[in-house]
């Protein structure tokens, strides 16, 4: 039984993710681990799922420490003191979703082997509790937010007091528990939007993308701020708006952070769909590409001992602090950077290449055979990488053909210095011929 997707167990409350399932996951996890720390973001089903998980873990003999409403990076940081961490969150998904994400003490999400262990135990149906006098304890720890804040503040330089005004949009997500105080602690003049926690996410869709950040863009101009910062529902993701109220794209953000984090001759890890502006902005670094998903990026950072990695969706991983993407640390780090140079100027220095994205309908059963044909055809165009779909690199651009993980579609992405439409058309023709 497949429970875990690319970002933990996630689905609609009381349909895909039920109390019964959470109890079984808790029993399975509790039988493998002696201690766990658990937290949740503010979504409506969070506490319900948390209670079921705790009951299962304690019943299996595992001691559980509750840290309450926290961000995912706060929970992942707290996990360093326990055998594992459990976060009840559906990240950037809307209110009807809930999910469970499991963490190792080093801030790395459970890998595929660990996920399979849980899946097999849940599927086996023979999960039972321990003797009455061996059940685990449940305690509460109210220091997780403070400890996470202190860790971040010890890794960034404070700014000259009140020299920098920032508008912060927490989107009613868990970021409100830590980010406003932390940025004030750095010395920023902080104007908050939607810092009140609300699991209905009434202010905006929790995903911090260009379309959802209209209010933030306006507020940055209105308050004459140096930048705007937005987080998703559990604040592992962070995106920014520059001093002109312009949304900084994920590829631009990745190139800007990497420019500061990667040492000369260092390594940067990004997913296969990342723009070549990253390669062009960092000519002295090795750029390693992985499957799409922050867990794969984190695993590759650990394996290659990379300086930095991230995903254009807004996940930034700074391995010197954690393998968990941290939208609070990233915000603090960006503020440190823009003290010396405006964010818009950093954007302007980056090259801009046209990108074209589209999809071709393809039945799920046919995806495998179609991709085999696409792969051999694309091999004639240039250097091929096939870790996630097929990506072919040419002198003037790249083309990626990937089967969608959730829909009956094949996705095509093309980016080129010149002739992006022609490149996209080549990709589409190859896919259509394979389908014919």
User: Interface residues with Mg ion (CB under 5 A)?
Assistant: 91, 232, 234, 236-237
Least Å distance between CB 236 and Mg ion?
A: 4
User: Shortest distance, CB of residue 405 to Mg ion, whole angstroms?
Assistant: 17
319 token code pair: 């391995």
User: 77 vs 237, which CB is nearer to Mg ion?
Assistant: 237
Torsion of CA 154, 160, 164, 169, to 10 degrees: 30
Least distance to Mg ion, CB of residue 28, Å: 24
Q: Report the half-sphere exposure of 197 (CA within 13 A, side-chain side).
A: 19
Closest distance of CB 117 from Mg ion, Å? 24
Give the pair of three-digit tokens for residue 316. 């930034």
Q: How far is the CB of 235 from Mg ion (least distance, A)?
A: 7
Instruction: Exactly one of 31, 91, 149, 285 is catalytic; name it.
Output: 91
State the minimum distance, in angstroms, from the CB of residue 320 to Mg ion. Answer: 21
**Separation of alpha carbons 182 and 231, rounded Å:** 14
- Nearer to Mg ion among residue 97 and residue 257 (C-beta): 97
Residue whose beta carbon is closest to Mg ion: 91
**CA-CA distance, 280 to 250, in Å (whole number)?**
15
Of the pair 178, 414, the CB lying nearest Mg ion is at: 178
Nearer to Mg ion, 50 or 232 (CB): 232
Nearer residue to Mg ion within complex by CB, 232 or 273:
232
> With contact defined as beta carbons under 8 Å apart, do 389 and 403 qualify?
yes
Q: Which CB sits closer to Mg ion, 327 or 427? A: 327
Least distance CB 36 / Mg ion (angstroms): 20
Question: Which residue lies nearer to Mg ion by CB, 237 or 391?
Answer: 237
Torsion-angle region of 401 (φ positive above 0: left; ψ -120 to 50: alpha; else: beta):
beta
Let me know if 154 is a catalytic residue.
no
Nearest to Mg ion of 164, 292 (CB atom): 292
Cβ of residue 423: shortest distance to Mg ion, in angstroms? 32
Q: Which residues are catalytic?
A: 91
């Amino acid at each position: 039984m497949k429970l875990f997707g690319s970002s933990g167990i996630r689905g609609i409350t009381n349909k895909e993710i039920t109390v019964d399932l959470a109890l079984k996951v808790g029993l399975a996890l509790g039988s493998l681990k002696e201690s766990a720390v658990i937290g949740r973001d503010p979504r409506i089903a969070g506490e319900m799922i948390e209670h079921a998980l705790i009951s299962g873990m304690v019943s299996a003999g595992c001691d559980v420490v509750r840290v309450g409403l926290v961000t995912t990076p706060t929970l992942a940081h707290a996990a360093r003191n326990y055998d594992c961490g459990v976060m009840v969150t559906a990240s950037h998904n809307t209110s009807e979703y809930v999910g469970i994400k499991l963490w190792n003490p080093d801030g790395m999400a459970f890998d595929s082997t660990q996920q399979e262990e849980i899946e097999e135990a849940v599927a086996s149906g023979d999960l039972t509790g321990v003797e009455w006098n061996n059940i685990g304890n449940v305690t509460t720890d109210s220091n997780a937010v403070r400890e996470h804040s202190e860790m971040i503040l010890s890794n960034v330089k404070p700014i000259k007091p009140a020299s920098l005004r920032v508008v912060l949009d927490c989107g009613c997500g868990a970021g409100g528990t830590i980010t406003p105080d932390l940025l004030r602690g750095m010395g920023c003049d902080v104007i908050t939007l939607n810092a009140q926690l609300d699991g209905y996410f009434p202010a905006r869709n929790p995903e911090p993308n260009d379309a959802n950040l209209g209010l933030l863009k306006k507020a940055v101009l209105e308050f004459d701020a140096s930048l705007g910062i937005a987080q998703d529902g559990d604040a592992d993701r962070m995106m920014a708006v520059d001093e002109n109220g312009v949304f900084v794209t994920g590829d631009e953000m990745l190139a800007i952070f990497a420019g500061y984090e990667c040492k000369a001759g260092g390594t940067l890890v990004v997913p296969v769909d990342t723009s070549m502006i990253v390669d062009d902005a960092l000519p002295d670094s090795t750029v390693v590409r992985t499957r799409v998903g922050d867990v794969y990026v984190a695993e590759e950072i650990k394996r290659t001992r990379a300086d930095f990695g991230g995903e254009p969706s807004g996940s930034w991983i700074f391995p010197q602090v954690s393998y968990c993407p941290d939208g609070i640390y990233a915000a603090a780090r960006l503020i440190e950077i823009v003290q010396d140079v405006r964010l818009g100027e950093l954007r302007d220095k980056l090259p801009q290449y046209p990108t074209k994205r589209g999809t071709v309908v393809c039945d799920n059963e046919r995806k495998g055979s179609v991709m085999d044909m696409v792969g051999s055809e694309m091999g004639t165009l240039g250097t091929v990488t096939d870790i996630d779909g097929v990506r072919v690199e040419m002198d003037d651009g790249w083309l990626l053909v990937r089967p969608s993980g959730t829909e009956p579609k094949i996705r095509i992405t093309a980016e080129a210095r010149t002739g992006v439409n022609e490149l996209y058309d080549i990709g589409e023709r190859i896919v259509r011929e394979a389908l014919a």
